[in-house]
Amino acid sequence: MLLTIDNFDFKGKTVALRVDINSPIDSQNEIILDDARIRACSDTITELSNNGAKVVIMAHQSRPGKKDYTTLKSHAEILSKVLNKEVKYVDDMFGSHAESTIINMEDGDIVLLENVRFYAEEVLKDWKKWKDDTPKKQGKTLMIRKIHHLFDYFINDAFAAAHRAQPSLVGLAYYVPAIAGNVMYNEIKTLSKVLNNPEKPCVFVLGGAKADDSIEVIKNVLSGNIADKILISGIVANIFLLAKGYDIGDNKAVVESMGYLNQIEIAEQLIATYGDKIVFPIDVALNIDGERKEVDLNLNEKIEYPIYDMGSKTIELYNGHIKNAKTVVANGPAGVFENKNFIKGTEGILNSMAETDAFTIIGGGHLSAAAAVVGLDKKMDHISTGGGACIEFLAGKTLPVIKVLENSYNKYRQYGRNI
């Protein structure tokens, strides 16, 4: 159970709102190329502001060393246009400028603080996992100690970062109630339905390059009798093909270079345990001097060229499973979709999902980008705002932000309304 913004009266209250508006940026002129995440959290911001809250937004952009690691000035400008209301950008996180700005806010005002990842403690590598003392440790970091007294509530709407335990994501929960924003609540509600009570048949379509995460999802949804079929593609499929004894040539070296050779044994165990619940490609598209050539998979024949996509027969096979499903969850593209010669498998899966009557979910990341490219994003029932967070949730892992929200519900629910 979670506290939501419907449970409290925010009029005259100062709220810290953590969002994920990390956006693709043209590093040459710092123009935001896609404002989807900014628009996603706009409903939460509007509701809080309209209800008289003083809204102080905390967010990040990229990470140190990346070309798109920059200030949030452009984000404030875009957010002001989306909300049709001024969002004041403050080039400070916890100094005197930020503090005086927050203290002098009027009801309904909206302020966006500087990129929290400009602060060193926010990007420490040991802040990734949940421990029982995580909120206390993060609450004792300098940034949180400097600003916590300014806030009455902490609202977290950053589902895309829910798998991280950084100070801005969990630290304020040590001092004030932690509440789920609209994006956070809807993500958890939708994904929980898939894990707890999906309409059957339930099909998972898993591809992309993050094979270890996908294999964790496979283990979770098969052992919990959640999925009826798993359709695999991409690097995930290459690992399972190796586990079945296929000679995929130099494609094995790609698996090795990504550090996934240890996943082959896990794949073997999954095949032995769950058999035909895991559906394999029956043909693949090879990249031969930039051209697409489809070949059938045969245990007695070595693959001599890079595998860049699934083949037409596999697309047709997977289409049948998707069309017969009542719930479809997809994560990761089927191939190197950025190359127009190898988008066919990814587009085929997306077309099947768009045409089915099943409840369809895309787990964010590259597959959601591909859906937008082929114009099918609006035909999905739910596209997650979180790539890594979504897949870790589906793998049954503890997400620090969600754990904090659950603990806050137990601690503060007597102060809320309609609970």
- pLDDT (tens digit per residue) in 363-400: 977 898 889 889 999 999 999 988 889 999 999 999 99
Residue with the bigger pLDDT between 419 and 354: it is 354
Residue 55 contacts residue 19 (beta carbons within 8 Å)? no
Number of H helices, E strands in the chain: 17, 17
d(Cα 119, Cα 143) in Å, to the nearest integer? 8
Identify whether the C-beta of residue 206 lies closer than 8 Å to the C-beta of residue 261: no
pLDDT of residue 381: 95
Least confident of 155-159, 205-209, 414-418: 414-418
Q: Please tell me which residue in 234, 332, 388, 403 is annotated as part of the active site.
A: 388
In Å, how far from its chain's centre is CA 191?
Answer: 11
Contact 210, 391 (CB under 8 A): yes
Note if 292 is an active site residue: no
pLDDT, tens digit (0-9, with 9 covering 90-100), for 245-261: 999 999 999 999 999 99
Q: Examine the residue annotation and report whether 37 is marked as an active-site residue of this protein.
A: yes
* Options 18, 54, 210, 403, the catalytic residue: 210
- Position 217 pLDDT exceeds 80: yes
In this prediction, residues 184-210 reach a mean pLDDT of: 95
pLDDT tens track for 16-57: 999 999 998 887 778 888 888 999 999 999 999 999 999 999
- Which pLDDT value is given to residue 398? 92
Residue 418: how many CB atoms within 10 A of its CB?
A: 7
pLDDT of residue 114: 98
Percentage of the chain lying above the pLDDT 90 cut: 85
Cα separation, 319 vs 213, whole angstroms: 24
365 is catalytic: yes
- Choosing from 18, 37, 164, 397, the catalytic residue is 37
Q: Which of 313, 276, 346, 41 is nearest to 182 (CA)?
A: 41
Of 233, 242, 331, the C-alpha closest to 284 is: 233
- Residues 54/109, Cβ–Cβ less than 8 Å: yes
Task: Look at residue 133 in the predicted model and tell me its pLDDT.
Answer: 82
Q: Tell me which DSSP letter residue 30 carries.
A: T
Predicted local distance difference test score (pLDDT) of residue 344: 96
Confidence band of 130 (pLDDT split at 50, 70, 90) = confident
Q: What is the model's pLDDT at position 75? A: 96
The confidence score (pLDDT) of residue 31 equals: 86
Given 139, 181, 348, 365, the catalytic residue: 365
How is 266-332 classified by DSSP, letter by letter? HHHHHHHHHGGGEEPPSEEEEEETTEEEEEE--TTS---S-EEEE-HHHHHHHHHHHHT-SEEEEES
pLDDT digits (tens, 9 = 90+) for 273-317: 998 999 999 999 999 999 999 999 999 999 999 999 999 999 999
CA–CA separation, 91 vs 93, rounded Å? 7
* Unique residue bearing structure tokens 């589906």: 394
Place of tokens 């001599």: 304
Q: What is the DSSP letter of 51?
A: T
**Average pLDDT, rounded, for the chain:** 94
Q: Note the pTM of the prediction, 2 decimals.
A: 0.91
Residue 386: predicted pLDDT? 84
